[in-house]
Each structure stands twice: as C-alpha cells, then as structure tokens.
Amino acid sequence: MTNSNIVIVGAGVMGQGLAEAIATAGTEVTLIDRTTRLAERGIKGISEAMDREIERWGLTQSDKKAILSRISPSSDLSLAEEAEIVIEAIPEDLDTKQALFDKLDSICKPDTLLVTNSSTLSISEIAAATERPAKIIGMHFLYPVTKIPLVEIVKGLKTDKETFEKAVQFAELLDKKWITVNEYPGYVTTRIIVPLLNEAMHVLMEGVATADDIDDAMKLGFGFNVGPLTLADMMGLDVVMAWMENLLGELSEHKYNPCPLLRKMVRAGHLGVKSGSGFFEYDEEGNKIVSSNGNNDHVSEVVR
C-alpha cells in the first residue's frame, strides 16, 4: 500500500494532519479543497506545524522538505477517479458529507476505499447516499493526527469484510493502533470525551474553580496529558459544540446538551486555538499566553 494513490478531500486541520501523516509514511497524497488557494493554505498550515516541530528538535529541515514534496494541492475532485483511497475530512454536517459521497460514488473506481473521518455521524447514513454502501467505512483519527497513535475503524451496517481489511492495512501504513467500532453515535472516543468536556465547562461556569485549576486537577489527579478545557480549545470550540449537538439529536440525553458557556463563547467567536481565544488565550503559533499573575483568567469576562 506504500505506493497507493491517496486523495484527501478537505484541507482543514484534520485534512492537514492526515496529509502530513500519509506523506511522513512515504506515500504521495493529493489534498483537495473547494479552491486550489484553500488547498495551498492547507499545505501552508502543514509547513507551519512542521516548523514548530523543527524548533522542538522533533524534525529536520530535510524531513520537512521530503514530506512536503509528497503533498499536492488541488481543487479538482475528478483526481479521485484513479485513487485507491479517498478520505473525506470536511466539516461535521450530514447533508454536506452525503453530497460529497454522492459525487465520489460517480467518480471513483468500484474498488476504491472510501473513508469518512466523521466523529459523530452515522456511517450507514453517509453510505446511503451511494450505490456502494459496502465500500464505505469510518476511520476516526484524533487531533493532532501526527501525534495520536489511535484510529477508530467504524463499520457501517453494510460495510463488507474486504473494506474493513483495507482500512486496517491503511491504519497500519500510518503506524496507528486501531480499534474496531460497531456503528453507534459518537463511537467510543467522542462519546466518552464529550460529557467530560461539557462537565468541565459547567464547573468553570458555576465558579467552582478557574480554568487553570480545572485543567491541573484533571492532569495531576487523573494522569491526563492535557486538561479538558485546553483540549477543547485545541479541538475548536465550534467543533466540540457540533459534536454535542449531533449526539444530543441522536440520543436525546441531557449530558450532551452544550453548556451555556460554550454556546456563548462560540457565538462570540472565541473558538479556541484557531481564533487565538477560547478558555485560554494563544499567540499566532498556538502557544498559550500566560498573564503576569501566572493565570489565564480572561474567560471570566465571558462567564459573567
């Protein structure tokens, strides 16, 4: 599979991470978005992320050059015609994903592995937009893709054994530990993490503790590498809220009802790292800004 022709549709954060991971594994990949400019912006994002790794001695300039040489930007979806693997990494909206898979169904070869990176939506419902539901599978990669060693392989109701085995081969190409998930809203990771993030936000909103102390409590008390509020900022607060709303709609359970503070922050444009402000503040490189008193208490203004 190392010489596979791989296409990613969606040059956002997840698409960028997938492209970098695939190129790092030695395989060429085409990154497609609505316009070539958006695809090129995605590659710029990959380049900037690698620059930060170079500063931490995690990569060399030679590594960066080799990885970027394997990633091509495009706006031409017809390039998927010759692909062995096509990965959808567009926003978490069912209608949009179904429309894309309907197009891919008419473009791609019968044996193409068609993958959705959805984190909450029904694989079967996405697959229903095609004439090949047996060939559609979910592969839920977690952010940041290049650092998290896990991928959930999610089988739809009609996903066949051959498609599953191809997904396993792809996961192993990327050196990911994979787990098998039978379709259910939120799969494993999103279903479990969302109530935790939501409860952390309620604790903050209720004034029980500061954002810093909530994160420290979970990191030091339970061995988390990243606190829940920082993690939400990294994922994107608008993305986290979309997950909650999708799960609330599917399961009608109150634990998935987005915290009012989260709703308020998203409406105000405080989306986390990508906007420079969420539960914490960030510089242009995504590093957390610590105030002179050693805290990140700007969110108190939003809470009030």
pLDDT in tens, 165-202: 999 999 999 999 999 999 998 999 999 999 999 999 99
pTM of the full structure = 0.89
pLDDT at 237: 97
Q: Where are the domains of the chain?
A: 6-182, 191-303
Say how far apart CA 251 and CA 10 lie, in whole Å. Answer: 28
- Architecture (CATH level 2) of domain 191-303: Orthogonal Bundle (1.10)
Give the pLDDT score at 284. 83
Average pLDDT of the chain, as a whole number? 93
How large a percentage of the chain has pLDDT more than 70?
Answer: 94
Q: How large is the average pLDDT for residues 262-273? A: 96
The superfamily CATH assigns to domain 6-182 is NAD(P)-binding Rossmann-like Domain (3.40.50.720)
Among candidates 145, 144, 146, 141, which has minimal Cα distance to 178?
141
Mean pLDDT of 2-26: 92
Tens digit of pLDDT for each residue in 101-154?
999 999 999 999 999 999 999 999 999 999 999 999 999 999 889 999 999 999
pLDDT tens digits for range 29-86:
999 999 999 999 999 999 999 998 999 898 999 999 999 999 999 999 999 999 999 9
* Burial grade of 11 (CB within 10 A; 0-12, 13-18, 19 or more): buried
Q: What pLDDT is recorded for position 303?
A: 56
Long-range contacts of the stretch 100-108 (C-beta < 8 A, 24+) = 100/9, 101/126, 101/127, 101/129, 101/130, 101/136, 102/129, 102/130, 103/77, 104/9, 104/77, 104/80, 104/130, 105/129, 105/130, 105/131, 105/132, 107/77, 107/78, 107/80, 107/81, 108/80, 108/81, 108/83
